[in-house]
Amino acid sequence: MLDSTLSGRVQALLDQFGAALEAGDIDAAAQMFVTDCYWRDLVAFTWNLRTMEGRDQVADMLRSQLAGTRPTGWQLDERELPTEEDGVTTAWIRFETAVARGYGLLRLRDGRIWTLLTTMQELKGHEEAKGFARPLGAKHGAGKNRTTWLEEREAEARELGYDRQPYTVIVGGGQGGIALGARLRQLGVPTIILDRHERPGDQWRKRYKSLCLHDPVWYDHLPYIKFPDNWPVFTPKDKVGDWLEMYTKVMELNYWTRSSCKRASYDEAAKEWTVVVDRDGQEVVLKPRQLVLATGMSGKPRIPEFPGADSFRGEQHHSSAHPGPDAYAGKKVVIIGANNSAHDIAAALWEHDADVTMVQRSSTHIVRSDTLMEIGLGGLYSEQAVQNGVTTEKADLIFASLPYRIMHQWQIPLYDQMKERDKEFYDGLERAGFRLDWGDDGSGLFMKYLRRGSGYYIDVGASQLIIDGEVKLAHGEVAEITEDGVRLDSGQLLPADLIVYATGYGSMNGWAADLIGQDVADKVGKVWGLGSDTTKDPGPWEGEQRNMWKPTQQEALWFHGGNLHQSRHYSLYLALQLKARMEGIDTPVYQLQEVHHLG
């Protein structure tokens, strides 16, 4: 049990910080930070997702935002005592602004603020109806012509999009669109989710049969309803699909299946979108104020155009369209690519007696699933973490509090441990000729994902097939596709009955180009990446994910997605931004995302 002096010292600093802010003494507030400080704000101060680095950036943000934000009530969270380790004090904090209640995480070094996370949690006067404010449900008493819950839901389904317009339209009904739709539903924002599939969850059901979540269950919860305690650690794809379908029903989402967005345009004067939808063969025109593309950061397949592809006499498709291994027993299969999908598909084809060759065009980072769970995720997302009081929500905020600029410094030692623990495994891969990497700076999987969203495989068994020579390996670029195979730039010819293009996905603004126009896609610019100036993540430094979950250069156009963790965590902040706009709350955005790259 810690004594109260640490809490007292931290609260005294918070009191001093709050007093400086209330007095408008920006210089005094900035001096309370160490020189190499980081203040990450999720909506509360900036109406944006921004990380301020150094005192000058902190002061600049406060000069822009302080008068409108009017923060008060800086307090330690009474449920969490501050801790001190290696000279760093960590404390959970609460605060308020003029329009919202916030929560955050503070780290102090040498008596000054080193990292500060501030997040908006709820808008005053627009809180979610939960806890003591949960809806009654039953209508006690008597009255003529009363409607039931079912009748009200059926009426809403009939009317929304026809007799009355949604405030928000979400294009894409995977986990991202569903999580955001649930948040908006709880905030009372009329929303329609559009998805082209027959049923919610088909985005998962219709992928290759061996697909499962490579992230563990504690990392993958959706908002409001967590997976049960007996849910498997790694969820099979069809089970994910069934959960998403159930979730859309019990969360009462207005989810339009068999509905494709054909085109969209924005009226700057009317502040309104026109969204033309093919709803099961009928054209419907929606007029929302806000449009969210939740098509997934891995949503637009990147299909290369190789010379001779039209002449190939076999079958060829992108990994996103791979039906599974059943039809390919005894067939020669060439997989172009060597990341997650390539490995998953290769293993399943081998299990069904196909002759599989994987073409590795560039090096790949591989980490074994068990090792990643234990070393990489265990402290935040594991059963042990839950037993230690680290809920998923708490883990999300801890992870969010680590500044992207220095996150790799935390990651490198973890991946060094993994490399040493699994040395024999990696030696085997290298003997087999597999080209490994650990990221440009040795920081491993998470940084690769955040920077470029590609270039890795979480091993659940396929790597051993490569080590054993059961899945063959080839290297080089594709020079051409012939009638009966793939010719590499080395001259090597790989005979094939099937070619699978496991070649990844393009930037999400490609969807904006398709639906709205190339001019809007270019106006918004590249989506995803930090600007780290590492492979496939060109600079300059952004400090946040480009264009994700925040305002873009195109008014009223938003991008939402990422893995289940990101879809869950960031859906709150995007939903609050949309709710504030619906309610007419002033939302002055600090440092709107600049455009440096088009895609």
pLDDT-derived band at 2, boundaries 50, 70, 90 = very low
Q: Which CATH architecture has domain 309-501?
A: 3-Layer(bba) Sandwich (3.50)
pLDDT-derived band at 1, boundaries 50, 70, 90 = very low
- Pick 284 or 379 by higher pLDDT: 284
> Residue 141: its pLDDT value, please?
81
Q: Give the separation between CA 65 and CA 311, rounded to whole angstroms.
A: 60
Q: Is 364 left (phi over 0), alpha (psi -120 to 50) or beta?
A: beta
Q: Average pLDDT in the 254-273 region?
A: 98
Q: Average pLDDT in the 353-358 region?
A: 98
Q: Average pLDDT in the 486-495 region?
A: 97
Cβ-based neighbours of 276, under 8 Å, separated by 6 or more: 261, 262, 263, 264, 283, 284, 285
Q: Give the separation between CA 319 and CA 316, rounded to whole angstroms.
A: 10
Q: Give the separation between CA 229 and CA 413, rounded to whole angstroms.
A: 31
Q: Average pLDDT in the 478-492 region?
A: 97
pLDDT of 3 > 50? The answer is: no
Number of neighbouring beta carbons within 10 Å of residue 552:
23
pLDDT-derived band at 4, boundaries 50, 70, 90 = low
Mean pLDDT score of the chain = 95
On whether the 3-123 domain is CATH 2.60.40.420, my answer is no
Q: Give the predicted TM-score (pTM) of the model.
A: 0.95
pLDDT tens readout for residues 406-421: 999 999 999 999 999 9
Phi and psi at residue 33, to the nearest 5°: -100, 150
Token representation of residue 395: 């883990």
Answer yes or no: same fold for 150-300+507-529+544-583 and 309-501: yes
User: How many percent of the chain have pLDDT more than 70?
Assistant: 99
Q: Average pLDDT in the 261-288 region?
A: 98
> Residue 298: its pLDDT value, please?
61
Rg (CA), the chain: 25
On whether the 150-300+507-529+544-583 domain is CATH 3.20.20.100, my answer is no
Token representation of residue 101: 């209640």
User: How many percent of the chain have pLDDT more than 90?
Assistant: 91
Q: Average pLDDT in the 152-175 region?
A: 96
Q: Average pLDDT in the 430-444 region?
A: 97
Domain ranges (residues) in the chain:
3-123, 150-300+507-529+544-583, 309-501
> Residue 299: its pLDDT value, please?
62
